[in-house]
């Protein structure tokens, strides 16, 4: 660790202890501020900037400007350029309540129950969150399955909430007028419910059923949630982003829940809003009847963040999702 002994400008400083090394000695090196003389851990402490020139005779370093100017007495390290590699793993899978009924239930209530204690069913699910902030969840899909065995009612209503019974926490608001197996799916990419679903904590889901008159008999109630989408589009929808500048090696296991197929695009760079892609597309799966899951790995070069885009096929109740995602990141420091 060395002390800065003079500050000539926002991009030049002197370190007396490092005089006389030869003008090329610190080529391809970086200046790291380990301790700010002002105390309190304020900027530019812990910042790292490249060195562009070194004058051996007086120990002058020319560097990229820090967020806050350097000061005499700041303690620094000079780091030689090296390769930094890290591996990140994200394994969200497909959390599933299973069948919450197990038998049959006759719904006779003619209004939605008041308060979460009046829910017909409840279940706790946890959708894992990434352990590293560089992996960002962009979109979550929920899939609801209900089987209606019989009904004398004209309508069976169902609402599903996460954690609280209000509009901001509502996931589904359904109205069914026929019997049979009912499937519906929804995407969430903003708002209160989305922020809860992506935080990695356990959340309770509440299911409310009621009829307009008469009754309805149900025999299946099930909810699944994924990092993915229930939408269909040629360029897909953003599901996951990795923030990184530098080489990437990506591994993934993507799947579809349902009877149809799906597609995946790995995209790097700016301008990723559908329907037009800027940047660079490095992988694109063909949507085919045979594509139920896809396991792939490969090198992704270029600049900018990596975005995983997905779309379901033509079956509107399917959800396409990331079961497993891994990435090896390389950068020079």
Condensed to tens digits (0 to 9), the pLDDT of residues 224-238 reads 999 999 998 777 889
Alpha-carbon torsion angle 6, 8, 11, 14, nearest 10: -30
Q: Is residue 151 part of a domain?
A: yes
CB 208 within 8 A of CB 112: yes
Same domain, residue pair 117 and 205: yes
Q: Which pLDDT value is given to residue 284?
A: 52
Q: What is the pTM of this model?
A: 0.73
Each residue's pLDDT tens digit, 190-223: 999 999 999 999 999 999 999 999 999 999 999 9
Q: How many structural domains comprise the chain?
A: 3
**Is the pLDDT assigned to residue 52 strictly greater than 90?**
yes
Q: Which pLDDT value is given to residue 234?
A: 73
For 242-252, b where at least 16 C-beta lie within 10 A, e where not — what string?
bebeebbbbeb
CB 209 within 8 A of CB 218: yes
**Is the pLDDT assigned to residue 291 strictly greater than 80?**
no
CB 231 within 8 A of CB 311: yes
Chosen domain end from 225, 245, 268: 225
Each residue's pLDDT tens digit, 79-129: 877 766 778 889 999 999 999 999 999 999 999 999 999 999 999 999 999
Q: Is residue 74 part of a domain?
A: yes
Q: What is the CATH number of the domain that holds 210?
A: 2.60.120
Same domain, residue pair 328 and 304: yes
Same domain, residue pair 192 and 245: no
CB 148 within 8 A of CB 253: no
Query: CA angle, corner 103, sides to 100 and 109, nearest 5?
Result: 75
Instruction: Write out 173-195 in H/E/C secondary structure.
Output: EEEECCCEEEEEEEEECCHHHHH
Query: What secondary structure does DSSP assign to 78-90, as a single string?
Result: EEE--EEEEEEEE
Note the helical H segments in the chain: 191-197
Closest CA to 149 of 230, 223, 224, 209: 209
Same domain, residue pair 115 and 159: yes
For 124-151, b where at least 16 C-beta lie within 10 A, e where not — what string?
ebebeebeeeebebbbbbbbbbbbbeeb
Rounded Cα gap, residues 240 and 163, in angstroms: 24
Tokens at residue 250, please?
Answer: 């990506």
Chosen domain end from 175, 200, 225: 225
Q: Which pLDDT value is given to residue 148?
A: 98
Rounded Cα gap, residues 141 and 207, in angstroms: 17
Same domain, residue pair 296 and 236: yes
Q: Is residue 87 part of a domain?
A: no
According to DSSP, residue 221 is labeled: E
Q: From residue 298, how far is each of 227, 252, 266 by CA, in Å?
A: 21, 9, 10
Same domain, residue pair 298 and 182: no
| Domain span including residue 317 | 229-332
Alpha-carbon torsion angle 167, 319, 252, 310, nearest 10: -80
Q: Which pLDDT value is given to residue 281?
A: 52
Q: Is residue 245 part of a domain?
A: yes
Q: Is residue 133 part of a domain?
A: no
At 168 the three-state DSSP class reads: helix
Same domain, residue pair 28 and 113: no
Tokens at residue 35, please?
Answer: 């301790």
Same domain, residue pair 252 and 312: yes
Q: From residue 190, how far is each of 14, 52, 164, 218, 268 by CA, in Å?
A: 49, 43, 17, 32, 22
């Amino acid at each position: 660790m060395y002390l800065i002994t003079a500050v000539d400008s926002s991009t030049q400083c002197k370190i007396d202890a490092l005089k006389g090394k030869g003008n090329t000695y610190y080529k391809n090196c970086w200046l790291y501020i380990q301790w700010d003389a002002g105390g309190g851990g304020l900027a530019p402490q812990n910042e790292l900037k490249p060195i562009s020139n070194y004058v051996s005779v007086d120990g002058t370093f020319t560097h990229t400007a820090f967020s806050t100017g350097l000061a005499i007495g700041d303690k620094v390290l000079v780091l030689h350029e090296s390769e930094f590699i890290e591996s990140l793993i994200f394994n969200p899978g497909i959390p599933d309540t299973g069948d919450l009924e197990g038998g049959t239930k006759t719904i006779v209530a003619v209004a939605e129950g008041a308060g979460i204690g009046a829910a017909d069913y409840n279940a706790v699910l946890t959708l894992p969150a990434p352990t590293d902030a560089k992996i960002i969840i962009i979109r979550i899909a929920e899939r609801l399955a209900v089987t209606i065995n019989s009904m004398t009612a004209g309508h069976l209503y169902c609402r599903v909430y996460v954690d609280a019974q209000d509009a901001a926490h509502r996931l589904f608001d359904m109205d069914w007028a026929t019997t049979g197996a009912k499937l519906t799916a929804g995407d969430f990419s903003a708002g209160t419910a989305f922020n809860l679903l992506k935080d990695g904590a356990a959340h309770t889901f509440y299911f409310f059923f009621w009829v307009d008159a008469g009754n309805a008999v149900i025999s299946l109630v099930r909810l699944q949630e994924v990092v993915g989408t229930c939408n269909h589009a040629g360029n897909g929808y953003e599901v996951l982003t990795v923030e990184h500048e530098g080489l990437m090696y990506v591994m993934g296991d993507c799947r579809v829940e349902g009877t149809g197929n799906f597609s995946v695009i790995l995209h790097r760079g700016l301008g990723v809003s559908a329907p037009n892609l800027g940047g660079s597309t490095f992988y694109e799966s063909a949507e085919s009847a045979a594509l139920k899951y896809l396991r792939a790995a490969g090198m992704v070069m270029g600049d900018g963040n990596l975005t995983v885009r997905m779309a379901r096929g033509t079956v509107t109740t399917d959800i396409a999702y990331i079961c497993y995602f891994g990435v090896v990141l390389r950068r020079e420091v």
